[in-house]
Structure 1
Amino acid sequence: MSTLDRARCELKAHPSALDTALAAGVLVCMLAGSFVDPHGERGVSWSIRTPDPLSLVLMTLGAIALIFRRRAPIRVLAVTSALSLTECLTAGDPRAPVVMSAVIALFTVAATTDRSTTLRLGVLTVTVLTGAAMLAGPLPWYAQENLAVFAWTGIGATAGDAVRSRRAVVQAIRDRAERAERTREEEARRRVAEERLRIARDLHDVVAHHIALVNVQAGVAAHVMDKRPDQAKEALAHVREASRSALNELRATVGLLRQSGDPEAPTEPAPGLGRLDELADTFRNAGLKVEVARADQGTTLPAAVDLAAYRVIQEALTNVRKHAGPEAKAEVSVVRVGPNVEITVLDDGTLSDAPPGESGGGGHGLLGMRERVSALRGTLTTGPRYGGGFRVHAILPVKTTSKAETPL
């Protein structure tokens, strides 16, 4: 940092010292000007004169008042204007430059107050000081010295207003930058929260579905191990298959968190309605009767919609297997209706004590489905059926404008 920059920082840190230095500089300029006679004798353009004592006192008082210009700018303007007015009414020709202190005070008022205050006080100050100089002074009203009072007071007000406007613009830019930074941070936190929520939904869907199947098949194997070993082996084979599928889907889900350039990141496609028959078979192997009806031929779904539809059906069938009873039957339908694809999962079972989606997994099943569908601007309706059973109905737009383009 240069010496000039250090000095500027010190003065900004101590505004009273800056005002004192400014007042001293203004006093020096006023004193120097008071010794100059602009109308020299015998045709000389200027000469040296001795200022009268009253002018020296007025200039000193004006400089002292400037020390307090930041604390009370309007009062300082009133004091310096009164001193300048006194000089205009009492001094002869030429007058001492007492008005210089009023110019600095008017600049301060314009720089620290609003524009309307600057306009009112500026017009009043310029009118009073210029009028007094023109009407009460010994020179003609059009004399150069009188017009200089008008010019300098006007320049002081204009310069102060320009400084205030510049400060306001700089502060507005800083405020916008701070708001933008806060917005970026909030957006980053929101995206992180949404990402965590999507990951939690996928982990819940994968784990709940496959662990439920493992639990059912393991129970079957334990029950028939002694009497029907062949059936037990078949159940254990289903356990192994469900475990392998769970591991593969978990690996794919976790792989989505890796960087795109990671060579170990899996490239398997996310599950979708193309694997609906395979999904239904896993539940049939677990003992659940599942019928699938589709009327969406020729429909190509966006990846986000395809995955959400698959997960909704998977979670709904998992809930049927958990809560609808051993004799329950599930019906799955996928229908293209206009710009939407409608998914319905029905069962005819009897609910257990815990409603679907509210046991085992901590109550995230139906909530996860609803969040998935809402993220794609779709709707989800769930509830008991008349006469028994449960119904899950989801409407997903084929052309989605989702909050999150690709849920995990």
Structure 2
Amino acid sequence: MSALPLRRLSRGTGTVLAWSGAAVYPVVLFLTFSHGRTGFQQLEIPLSTGLTVLVLSLLRRRALVAHVILLLAWILALLALPVGTVGGLLVLLPGVSAGYITATRPRKVSVLVAVTTFLLQAAAVTAFLQADEVLLMTVLLGAAVAFMAGNSIRTRRGHAEAMREQATAQAVSAERLRIARELHDMVAHSIGIIAIQAGVGGRVIDTQPAEARNALQAIEATSRDTLFGLRRMLTALRKDDPGAAPLGPAPGLADLDRLAEAARDAGVAVDVRTAGEPRPLPPDVDLSAYRIVQEAVTNVVRHAGTDRCRVTVGYGDGDLAVEIEDDGRGGVVGTGYGLVGMRERVALLCGEFAAGPRPGGGFRVAARIPAPAAAA
């Protein structure tokens, strides 16, 4: 039998045993406190304590069921031994589970649980302890504190989640604007070439037909190349651009050696490898692949805690594969906004993206982008 079925069998057996213990918990607790009228037995106190911890641990799996078991068990305990200490535990322990439900369940469910719990606690205290107004107010205060604590945790968690979503959306928007600026530079460069070639062709069309033909071919190649990139990206990009467009030519995979040198100066040796036959790429693919490598290497420098990484660029038939691996302590996990930007770039080019810890340690970023050969 393989390790995976064994682990599943072990987890299933553990779950059955845990819920079996929770099922007998009310009976054990009742017997423990029944004997408490004449003195606790040595075995029953550790057993009931252990089962209490077990039931509390089951809140993460089935919070409502575990809460019902706790409430029923301590009502029976108060019936067996009607003293103030047991009444206090009746308020405290189900209060913990009620607070957990308030923190993790919808408000409608949490309010119903809080009200029902208080009514049952108050009824049990009144029936078995002959409660006065002070005791009932204590029960009410305990229920209110549990509800407010759980509600506060849920509110903070919701706020934190909203802030994460907002930050992720801002990261995506910023990356799109950055891509828009780069695409603007690419288009402006291409239109400039077209304008120059058109001017040359217009001046020599009568005297040098061959030169005019060359100009027209250059215009055609540049136009096809630019339209190819625009068709895949422009509809997915925002039009607003609050920042100025950067000057200079857009970088590409030909600049990886310079990127590796910069990373080496920062303390990380980058091993750049190439698979397949390098070929000219569409400008948007070339730029995006470079940005993915740049961001991934930056993450290695900042977060991985290692002094080396590997960059592999694979030229396939009709696609480009980029892979960045390191042997550090895991790189960026969770909602790293650099990863959000990389994923956005690949999605705009209809590619595939994956990032996560490697089985043997370290972190891996991989992208595969459709990349037909650029027009000659």
Indicate the TM-score class for this superposition, using the shorter chain for normalisation: 0.3 to 0.5
Q: Please give the TM-score of this superposition, normalised by the length of structure 2.
A: 0.44
| Greater relative CO, 1 or 2 (CA 8 Å, sep 6+) | 2
Whichever of the two has the greater Rg, that structure is 1
Would you tell me which structure has more helix in proportion to its own residues? 2
Q: TM-score, normalised by structure 1?
A: 0.41
